[in-house]
Amino acid sequence: MEYSPYFDPLLETLSREEITALQLQRLRSTVEHCMHSPFYAERLKQCGVSADSIKSLDDLKRIPFTTKQDLRNTYPFGIASVKPEECVRLHSSSGTTGNPTVILHTQKDLNEWAAAVARCLWMVGLRPYDVFQNSSGYGMFTGGLGFQYGAEKMGMLTVPAAAGNTKRQIKFMTDFGTTAVHAIPSYATRLYEVMEEQGIDPRTDTRLHTLIIGAEPHSEEQRRRIEEMLGVKAYNSFGMSEMCGPGVAFECREQNGLHIWEDYYIVEIVDPETLRPVPDGEVGELVLTTLNREAMPLLRYRTRDLTRILPGECPCGRHHKRLDRMKGRSDDMMILKGVNIFPIQIETILLQFEELTSNYLITLETRESNDEMTVEVELGQLFTDDYGRLQELTREITRRLKDEILVTPRVKLLPKGSLPQSEGKAVRVKDIRKHF
């Protein structure tokens, strides 16, 4: 493998024994550091775990899982292991109706996050002479600043195009000689279709050769279609805000599983019902323990993402374990246009309108290569049939939903009794998106 400042053979090709020894040493210091977190100090005391009592990685199992609910309960800073004044940035999830989740970062965290992303970008063959365009949302979306700092650290010319305005994205690509783009898979299709409308052939009219795709589940077939359409190699990128953002696990050039950086994380796969470990090769919920975080280490964090560890070694020479592409979630979180949405967020907003009943249906579908959400909701008895008032109400519900979930739904108000009544637990979400 080619040496570079961003490919560290010492860390990337560690043997299993070396990875285990490094993880044990970093787990001990993480647990020691967690004693500064009001939340973890109490929790570690309750389960009787201290840094000194950790003799092997198996001792990790003595510590209870950390959940998203723990992050919400300790909102905003109660789980952090340093004081907010020692931090330089925070990222928060969307939502105004409940407690969002907040992730704090020190400067060291940001530096190491950027280094992890740079490592991933180098791994897929990008080099400082490449031009990297990022179509992620910036601000709180970690795909924005996460890729920005990683790509800059690697030395690439970066184009922080941000989300939306597809024609402008394409103009940037042709004018600036963009060679690599980060886009969510459904948006990659949109990019191609707008190029087609404009008579632009990505193979001859652009210098594109690499796409980084992630943030939402996609199939192998979808990846191959994207590669074919745009004439690129497309690499799967996995991350989440709780673990900083992108840079957690990434495909290498073998495109056969995502290497999860085990010098940064301890990986467990558990049965989401029993919470017992499942053997390598079997699907379960991904649980991660951070090993290098300063502001906000997380111990045994339940990601709710379903995947499996691919058995066997990768021909690329890296021994860091490989995750299979994500198979779904063990909770009801939806991902639309790269934005995470919980049905309860929608329900909470709808319930704030006295004109509405609690009977609603969310449909996710693909229209003209755009993923869209339709929210159908039944009107209550007292409702007027004044058309103007109906329109005004629809606009107001749409605006309030957009504020909450960050994407714009199509809202349809229906007469009472129009939606199917299901026995037992009502089916609230229908996902009929078509991605090939």
Name the residues that contact ligand AMP, by CB under 6 A.
142, 214-217, 236-241, 245, 303, 305, 326, 329, 335, 340
> Contacting Zn ion (CB under 5 A), which of 27, 299, 316, 350?
316
User: Quick check: 27 binds Zn ion (CB under 5 A)?
Assistant: no
Whether residue 76 is preceded by a cis peptide bond, meaning omega within 30 degrees of 0, is yes
Out of ligand AMP, Zn ion, ligand COA, none, what residue 217 binds, judged by CB under 5 to 8 A for its kind, is: ligand AMP
Q: Which is nearer to ligand AMP, 200 or 335 (CB)?
A: 335
Query: Could you say which residues in the range 181-200 bind ligand COA, by CB under 6 A?
Result: 184, 187, 190
Binding to ligand COA by residue 165, rule CB under 6 A?
yes
Q: Does 406 bind ligand COA (CB under 6 A)?
A: yes
Cβ at position 164, least distance to ligand AMP in Å: 17
Q: Least distance in Å: CB of 64 to ligand COA?
A: 29
187 binds, among ligand COA, Zn ion, ligand AMP, none (CB under 5 to 8 A by kind): ligand COA
In the region spanning residues 202 to 231, those forming contacts with ligand COA, defined by CB under 6 A, are: 215
Using CB under 5 A, count the residues that bind Zn ion.
5
Distance, first Cα to last Cα, the chain: 35
Among 408, 426, 427, 434, the residue binding ligand COA under the rule CB under 6 A is 408
Which residues between 246 and 275 bind Zn ion (CB under 5 A)?
252, 254
Inter-residue contact 151 to 250 (CB < 8 Å): no
- Residue 57 CB, shortest distance to Zn ion, in Å, is 23
**Alpha carbons 347 and 67: distance in angstroms, whole number:** 22
> Given the structure tokens 């964090």, which residue do they identify?
301
Q: How far apart are CA 255 and CA 124, in angstroms?
A: 9
Q: Which amino acid is at 202?
A: P
Selected from 166, 178, 189, 303, the binder of ligand COA by CB under 6 A is 166
136 binds ligand COA (CB under 6 A): yes
Binding region for ligand COA (CB under 6 A): 135-137, 141-143, 163-166, 184, 187, 190, 215, 337-339, 370, 406-408
